[in-house]
Structure 1
Amino acid sequence: MSWSDRYVGTPYEDFGRSREGCDCWGLACIIYREELGISLLDYLGDYASPEELGEVAALIDRDRVSPLWVPVAGPAVAFDIALFRRGRLNTHVGITIRHGLMIHMREDDCAKVESYAAGPWMHRFEGHYRHVSRAVEHPVQIVSEVRR
């Protein structure tokens, strides 16, 4: 049994941040809180609706370069955030179970485990991000600044 099995079947709900219902970021918030003891920003009130893809993408793009998230250069590990495009915008996240496998919310359905190494998510994949509290690697620019 994997930790992810506890979340499979969690129902979808716009702006949801609980086990009674959540969206893709809500699922990340729940998993990080329950499995890692990390409270992520909930972004409630930061976008008008899930249909406002430009607003959602702007939040994601802003925060993926914040000091809280480290881009992962090598293989992903459990709990890394996998970022995906829908159309041309970065608007969907999954939580890595192991490299190539994620749990994520299927809109208007529920949380499911799916591969992103093949199938429809493979071509939408944008990158992995690791919470700074779990980072074992750092971006090259930070490493080079420390050596100076």
Structure 2
Amino acid sequence: MKWHEPLLTAVFREGGRTLPHVDCYGLHRAILMTVAGIEDVPEWGEGYSVADARRVGALFEEGAARRPWIAVTEEREFDAILLRRRGRLPLHVGTVVRPGIMLHITSQHSPRLEDYRSPEWRSRVLGFFRHEALA
């Protein structure tokens, strides 16, 4: 069984940080903690609502700019991929399963694999971030 397969049953919940109820960042956090074995993964769970796009965008920008995240140019398994969802704001995160493929969840769909190099996603990619424990 591939590491991502058990995660396909997760259910979207805004602010969710514990499987099976997670939002996009909660899924990434759960992957790092349960699959990659990293204990120190920030929660980013308080003080935002998906409806508050500016606050969510600020959380991603602030968080990605400090420890434990390291910006990388060549992505690999378990890296976070930061994406735009509405306009220019960074509102979404997925997890690199392998270069070109991400696992992500939204309020509109359960976790799924998608090609972030596809026309639908490639213009939305803002960057890749690696947890310092994987550097």
- TM-score, reference length from structure 2: 0.92
Cα distance between partner residues in 2 of 1:89 and 1:25: 15
Any idea what the Cα deviations from partners look like across 1:66-105, whole Å, max 9, x if unmatched? 031111122x111000010122100100000011101000
Q: Which runs of 4+ in 1 moved over 2 A?
A: none
Residue 119 (structure 2) pairs with residue 116 (structure 1): no
1:57 paired residue number: 57
Cα deviation, 1:33-80, whole Å, max 9, x if unaligned, reads 101222311122232x11111001111111111031111122x11100
Q: Check whether the contact 1:10–1:22 (CA below 8 A) recurs between aligned residues.
A: yes
The AA in structure 2 aligned to 1:102 is: M
Matched-pair contact (CA < 8 Å) for 1:106–1:112: no
Identity %: 31
2:46 corresponds to 1:45: yes
Partner of 1:146: none
- Give the distance between the partners of 1:3 and 1:120, measured in 2 at CA: 25
1:132 matched to which residue of 2? 132
Task: Please identify the structure whose Cα radius of gyration is greater.
Answer: 1
The runs of 5 or more residues in structure 1 that have no matched partner are: 136-148
Query: How many aligned residue pairs are there?
Result: 133
- Taking only aligned residues, the RMSD between alpha carbons, in angstroms, comes to 1.3
1:84–1:125 contact (8 Å) kept in structure 2: yes
Shift of 1:5: 1.1
Shift in Å, 1:18? 2.1
Instruction: Tell me the TM-score normalised to structure 1 length.
Output: 0.84
Q: State the 1:2 CA deviation.
A: 1.9
Structure 2: how far apart are the matches of 1:24 and 1:114? 14
Structure 2: runs of 5+ lacking an equivalent? none
8 A Cα contact 1:11 1:21, kept in partner: yes
Structure with the higher strand share, 1 or 2: 2
